[in-house]
Amino acid sequence: MINKRLLIKNLLAHNDESSFYDKKLQINISSKEGKAKFLKHICALSNSNPNNNSYIVIGIDDQYNHIIGVDFFDDSKIQNLVNAYLSHPPIIQYENIPFPHLNNDKVVGLVTIRPKETKEITSLRKNIWKYYIGSVFFREGSMSIPKKSVTQLTDFNSEIVTAIEAHAQNNIEYTLDGVFDFMVQREDFDPKYKVFKEYFVMCWSGLRKSVKNQTLYSRVDIALINEQVRLFYSALDAVEISYDKDSFEITEYVNLGLDGENSYFKLEKTTINFGNNATYNIDSEFLFSPPQYDKKALRHTLNSNNALMDRLKQGAKLTSEQISDLKKVPATYLICYFNGIEAAITRLKSAKNLLYTHNEEAYVLYKKSMRILRKVKYNQ
């Protein structure tokens, strides 16, 4: 089994990006341009590596090759994006890899592009941004460039990638070190571990709380130690954890409401199933049903939010009560949108820079709301 942290270190040892891996400071698949560039690189890496895995490492300062980190990203539907826009799409996987020197809320993103069984050329199946249907991309050094008149794929990298992956294999020492590190770093959050199938080691931690006779956890961190992969992280939401001898189940809840009358709503259930042959798979089930409110009350909330954001935009000083209201803006915009007020989502997106500049806590809550929105849209 590959230790993903070691793998990233081995990839970065090749200081210059190559035809088998790319590195990025960040990706943004919430915009058409960001989606298009991401798909271009997936297409190019897939076509240039027909017989081996290829990779995108995210959260790297390209100039100095330093690990900066990015926010935890847990969109299990990212494969749907690839399938929707690429013909003969490869199987991809996005994983969150913790590094000891990064803050708890930061990881390195690792995208793995698997070799296709059919060995057919991957191309765009429809237009996106400035790239047209039928476009084919390949890697040329560190660049993903369009090419024409290519009729077959050529293997250039399988030998070197096999060697890199061989040097990133996990062992018992790495596993034990990983468990001890997790226990020490999360000692204030009641850390636990469990071994599945005499092979896989899961570690998790969180602050226990009781909600209507149900045990939930906040400040949750869950990791598969063998691969050094963070499976779940949230500083805000509530999580229910259960397990048996064959599986580990995470049910995430989000706290939403108006005028201080909030409730917990199920968002998503993730189940890690462990096999007898040192394999595992992850299944996700989307459970969210948004709360419904009176439209008149929501219009009032929308107008209040708009007025508050306009004051912030004009540079006016906010009172302590307005600062408290500012932290509610992302979630209440989201609720308005879920109740059929389309304009609310435009206002939510436009609030990003103002919240980032003026209130760190409100900006964190903005990112939480956008994560919920992204999951809802992918599961519609």
The string of DSSP letters for 15-63 reads -S-BTTEEEES---TTSHHHHHHHHHHHHHHHHH-TTS-EEEEESEETT
pTM of the model: 0.91
* pLDDT value of position 141: 87
* pLDDT value of position 235: 82
* pLDDT value of position 378: 81
114 in Cβ contact with 149 (< 8 Å): no
Residue 325 φ/ψ, nearest 5 degrees: -65, -30
Amino acid letter for position 194: K
Q: pLDDT of 359-371, one tens digit each?
A: 999 999 999 999 9
Alpha-carbon distance of 147 to 272, in angstroms, equals 40
- As a whole number, mean pLDDT of residues 288-294 equals 96
Q: pLDDT of 191-234, one tens digit each?
A: 999 999 999 999 999 999 998 889 999 999 999 999 999 999 98
Pair type for strands 137-140 and 143-146? antiparallel
Look at residues 248, 327, 256 and name the one whose alpha carbon lies nearest to residue 288. 256
- As a whole number, mean pLDDT of residues 90-118 equals 95
- As a whole number, mean pLDDT of residues 110-133 equals 96
pLDDT cut 70: percent of the chain above it: 99
Q: 259: which residues sit within 8 A by CB, 6+ positions away? A: none
* pLDDT value of position 15: 62
User: Residue 107 pLDDT > 80, yes or no?
Assistant: yes
Q: Please tell me the chain's helix, strand, coil percentages from 3-state DSSP, rounded to the nearest 5.
A: 35, 30, 35
Centre a 10 Å sphere on the Cβ of residue 131 and count the other Cβ atoms it contains: 18
82 in Cβ contact with 89 (< 8 Å): yes
User: Residue 175 pLDDT > 90, yes or no?
Assistant: yes
* pLDDT value of position 377: 86
User: Residue 322 pLDDT > 90, yes or no?
Assistant: yes
Look at residues 164, 235, 221, 223 and name the one whose alpha carbon lies nearest to residue 6. 164
Alpha-carbon distance of 161 to 18, in angstroms, equals 11
> Which three-class secondary structure state does DSSP give residue 169?
strand
Higher pLDDT, 235 or 57: 57
Domain spanning 4-166: CATH 1.10.3470: no
Alpha-carbon distance of 369 to 265, in angstroms, equals 14
